[in-house]
Structure 1
């Protein structure tokens, strides 16, 4: 009996790319001895993606779709797809064809050799990314690796293969705002990374910008580490100790008649320490906010329509 592979593809405003990625995946599997299914998750698209998926699923029994009630974010869309994927292995990839389907046979080969997780990471020679994107991406992974308990390769992507046992574990996790790049590293198992060069995006534009990468970095850091809280503690302690150095100057001024003057220096000092306190309170607030949202136990996504039972 052939093994089955589920392809999970989140999509947001990818109406023109959906038929192309379906065709590319089907072409790859035509030369492989596996059964396969493609599950698209429409993450609240505002273009014609939903209609394209309905038509595609009606014409191709190997295509299924899930329409979410609004845009919940990529990781939540992946959660929806993983919950409905029943293959012996699950491959997650983007809909814009920057994740080359031609890498799928290599994924499957390493999976058959005993790796429960096979993931792709972007090579530094990516010709299709702008200089700004390369810099922000490098900064993103540098911050994640230094301030969290994770070690992610620069350019690690959501293009990966997961064994069924790994998918089953991920489906039991109910944490708020899941960060799959980190979660999959955290759960362990035998993992293999493969370098790849992203293809040029077929159409449309990337949904990630510097602001979204910053939010993703903060989510990754606060989900897997308490290092920022320790840093805030060390900063407070350091500045408290440094303030003690001011005491000799105060004593000298008092006994030798030197008045302490200078409004600008006083205001600058107050502003500096006020900003530091606000930053530390903000760090604490991030963690409290995550606890607050987790306590509500709201679903990660809401399904509006699907052709899956």
Structure 2
């Protein structure tokens, strides 16, 4: 039995020494001698790649995949999964927020139930301040309300997967990648285990802007409901606008010169309509752009060099 450990590199140098030590301890605990450590360098600006090139001299199981630039976390994960050759694939972030030792729990759980294809981690209680917890809760509620694919709340990157499951996941040819949704769209028998995340050393590489982009990517990649909402909202606006016009005409006929249809009300209505139209066009434009990206047929990431 061979296990592939897949992780990505972006400003990861400060974590790597401890990460490698802890993942090797976990592999020893499950008595796994046949393994590979796959690190995908997602355009990391520090010397993570150089550090691992040196460590590879001592640990030949390390495999390095150097991407030509920063393509994004989910795209880098895809590349790592494509090059994993193990019977099981363990996906994990190397920032040590989730201890590598969870591999032992995932492996034991999968061994206790041969029907399982995936064992994944989730947070029972989200870490962070009130704003982070609130925003995270809103995200998971919103994505499940909008999407036909039901995704467990507060899932983590960390998961142990069978080779069959990984191959099925990689068959999806999405140019607009949201792995959190894709991993549950493919189905299979999956089970979650509660994991308590630790505190990251240093600032997270997921800024507020990147989190917002991920939320937009998730919603527009897994749901057409925003477009449906635009249609119904447009009908509602049209209906009440028609009623308002009928009301104004009736008032003018009944009261004649007593009713003044001033410029202020006309300008206010025009500004409202302009705002609504701009919002509608923006949402439609996002979907059109996603179609454009899909039909381009470009690879999601480009590999510069592989160190095997």
Which whole-Å CA distance do the structure 2 matches of 1:259 and 1:97 have between them? 70
* Contact 2:4 2:89 (C-alpha < 8 Å) held by counterparts: yes
Deviation at 1:6, TM superposition (A): 0.7
* Number of residue equivalences: 303
Deviation at 1:125, TM superposition (A): 5.5
Which whole-Å CA distance do the structure 2 matches of 1:78 and 1:260 have between them? 64
Query: Structure 1 residue aligned with 2:239, among 238, 241, 249?
Result: 241
For 2:291, the equivalent position in structure 1 comes to: 291
For 2:83, the equivalent position in structure 1 comes to: 84
So what's the TM-score if we normalise by structure 2?
Answer: 0.94
* Contact 2:81 2:166 (C-alpha < 8 Å) held by counterparts: yes
* Correspondence 1:1-309 to 2 at 5 A: 3-34=1-32, 35-112=34-111, 113=113, 114-124=115-125, 126=127, 129-201=128-200, 203-246=201-244, 247-257=246-256, 258-308=258-308
Aligned-residue RMSD, C-alpha:
1.5
* Contact 1:90 1:161 (C-alpha < 8 Å) held by counterparts: yes
Deviation at 1:33, TM superposition (A): 2.4
Counterpart secondary structure, 1:70: coil
* Contact 2:251 2:259 (C-alpha < 8 Å) held by counterparts: no
* Contact 1:79 1:171 (C-alpha < 8 Å) held by counterparts: yes
Deviation at 1:153, TM superposition (A): 2.7
**Structure 1 alignment gaps of length 5 or more:** none
So what's the TM-score if we normalise by structure 1?
Answer: 0.93
CA displacement 1:75-118 (0-9 Å, x = unmatched): 11001100100111111111100112221122112322121011
**Structure 2 alignment gaps of length 5 or more:** none
Which whole-Å CA distance do the structure 1 matches of 2:235 and 2:29 have between them? 63
* Contact 2:5 2:89 (C-alpha < 8 Å) held by counterparts: yes
Structure 1 range deviating more: 255-264 or 163-172: 255-264
Deviation at 1:28, TM superposition (A): 1.0
Deviation at 1:45, TM superposition (A): 0.7
Which whole-Å CA distance do the structure 1 matches of 2:243 and 2:82 have between them? 59
* Contact 1:140 1:213 (C-alpha < 8 Å) held by counterparts: no
Which whole-Å CA distance do the structure 2 matches of 1:204 and 1:38 have between them? 24
